[in-house]
Structure 1
Amino acid sequence: MVTLQLKGLGARYGSGLAVEDVSTPVFKGGELTAVIGPNAAGKSTLFKRVAGLLKGPGEVVLEGARNEPRDALRYMPQDTHANAVLTVYESVLLAVKQGHGWRVSDRELAEIDQILEALQIADLAFRNLGELSGGQRQLVSIAQAIVRKPEVLLMDEPTSALDLYRQVEVLAFMQELARRRGTLVLIALHDLNHALRFCHNTVVISSGRLVSAGPSRQVITPEMLREIYRVDARIEQCSRGESHIIIDRSAA
């Protein structure tokens, strides 16, 4: 099983460190791990450092992967730039074949069809990317990321352009996909209730530094919400065993 651990990780912009000394527990495949924090906390910078796009001190320890790190790990940035003249199907097909020649098997075509259907964008398959809404393009980017079957997947706010219903649908799909494939997924989220519901672990970043990391229900607490997000809130558990954050509006 693939595992990932960060040891004293920092990310350098120019002569300074934008992210500094991030060390985490060992995260394992088959689970989603949320990366949360206020705006400009350093989440995207951390993802780029883990993906090898930025330099800095520390170590990314990847073990148990079947492939070399450059093939095992994939990064889905928050802002994706796609060729607007390609159709949805062409863009996902190109993602499959990147670096693997141009011969396309029936199995690969079937997998593309299955992913587009699972993300509910099969009806967009032959529309040009330039004709799509921001949310639709985001779903296509998710399809491009998962169709390559990475062992570790870094997703930087992949649901930010989606409505609430589609956010829940996509996160449930990613949760099941991770479990079925044994994929280790790190996913930057703003909705902390989503982190509680779908993510086994949570990493909290603030001002470029690690605040805490561990099981989501141990990390997302009223004390953390007060310290990092400056809100008074409580965590309530519903009858299905799920936890929800209830903000105290009177404590302004």
Structure 2
Amino acid sequence: MVSIQLDDVGACYGPRTIISGVSTARFVGGQVVAVVGPNAAGKSTLFKRIAGLIDGPGEVSLQGSAKGVQGISYMPQGLNASTRLTVYESVLLARKQLAPGWTVHDDELKLVDEMLDALGIRDLAFRNLGELSGGQQQLVSIAQTLVREPEVLLMDEPTSALDMHRQVQVLNFMRALARQRQVIVFIALHDLNQALRFADQVLVIADGTAQGSGPSHEVINEAMLRAVYKVEARIERCSRGQHHILIDDIV
């Protein structure tokens, strides 16, 4: 089973330190890890550091992987393709970037079809990316990432442009994918109620450092909300054992 652990991880842009000293317990395949924290806390930089897109101190320890660092896929906030491509072409191209040569095989076409169906965007397959809404483009970006069949998936705010129905659909799908394929899914989220509902583990990033890491219902608590988000809030237990944040005031 694939697993990953961060040990004193940091990253800089030139002389400026963006994140430093980020350490976690070992995350394992099948888990959804919500990465939360205020704006400009360093979440995107941390994802790029884990993916090997930028350098920095510390160690990202990946074990049990059949693909090594190639098994880590990073989904940025923006669409990663030319807007002149069709949806189908962009997703297929994302798949072909993994393999030498440009011969397209039936199993690759089947995988693209499956991802478009799973995300409910088959009807967009032959529309140009530039014609799509922001939410539609975000779903295409998710398909581009998933078609690579990652072992560790880093998703930077994948639901920010989606309506409530689509947000729940995508997060349910990602949680099922993690379980079925034993993938580790990191998702940067701003909605802490979604983190409580869909994530097994939470990593809190603020001021470029880790402020907490562990099971979601333990890490997201009143003290963390006060210290990191500067709000007074209560966390209530709802039906099915879920928890919900009720905000009273700002600090």
Q: 8 Å contact 2:32–2:184 — kept in the other structure? A: yes
Q: Is structure 2 residue 73 aligned with structure 1 residue 74? A: yes
Structure 1 residue 68, shift from structure 2 partner:
2.4
* 1:152-182 deviation digits (Å, cap 9, x = unpaired): 1111111111111111110000000111111
Name the structure 2 match of 1:200: 200
Q: How far apart, in 1, do the equivalents of 2:60 and 2:98 lie?
A: 24
1:57-206 matches, within 5 Å, as 57-69=57-69, 71-100=70-99, 101-206=101-206
* 1:25-79 deviation digits (Å, cap 9, x = unpaired): 100111110000001111111111111122211000000001121x111111112
Q: How far apart, in 1, do the equivalents of 2:150 and 2:203 lie?
A: 21
* 1:180-229 deviation digits (Å, cap 9, x = unpaired): 11111111000001100010000001100110100001100011001111
Q: Is structure 2 residue 198 aligned with structure 1 residue 211? A: no
Q: How far apart, in 1, do the equivalents of 2:206 and 2:199 lie?
A: 19
Q: How far apart, in 2, do the equivalents of 1:242 and 1:215 lie?
A: 13
What TM-score, normalized to structure 1? 0.96
Q: 8 Å contact 2:35–2:187 — kept in the other structure? A: yes
Structure 1 residue 91, shift from structure 2 partner:
0.5
Q: 8 Å contact 2:195–2:216 — kept in the other structure? A: yes
Q: How far apart, in 2, do the equivalents of 1:201 and 1:74 lie?
A: 19
Amino acid at match of 2:164: L
Moved more, 47-56 or 210-219: 47-56
Amino acid at match of 1:74: S
Structure 1 residue 90, shift from structure 2 partner:
0.6
The sequence identity of aligned pairs, in percent, is 61
Q: How far apart, in 1, do the equivalents of 2:53 and 2:119 lie?
A: 28
Q: How far apart, in 1, do the equivalents of 2:34 and 2:76 lie?
A: 15
* 1:111-165 deviation digits (Å, cap 9, x = unpaired): 2111111111110000000100111001000000001101011111111111111
Q: Is structure 2 residue 236 aligned with structure 1 residue 236? A: yes
Amino acid at match of 1:91: S
Q: How far apart, in 2, do the equivalents of 1:23 and 1:2 lie?
A: 18
Q: How far apart, in 1, do the equivalents of 2:12 and 2:178 lie?
A: 31
Structure 1 residue 241, shift from structure 2 partner:
1.5
Moved more, 45-54 or 189-198: 45-54
Q: 8 Å contact 2:80–2:141 — kept in the other structure? A: no
Q: How far apart, in 1, do the equivalents of 2:108 and 2:14 lie?
A: 42
What TM-score, normalized to structure 2? 0.97
* 1:74-122 deviation digits (Å, cap 9, x = unpaired): 1111123421111000111111111412222222222211111111111
Amino acid at match of 1:212: G
Gaps of 5+ in 1: none
Q: How far apart, in 2, do the equivalents of 1:239 and 1:159 lie?
A: 24
Gaps of 5+ in 2: none
2:239 is paired with a residue of what secondary structure?
coil
1:30 is paired with a residue of what secondary structure?
coil
1:110 is paired with a residue of what secondary structure?
helix
Aligned residues: 250
Amino acid at match of 1:141: S
Structure 1 residue 248, shift from structure 2 partner:
1.4
CA RMSD, Structure 1 to Structure 2 (Å): 1.2
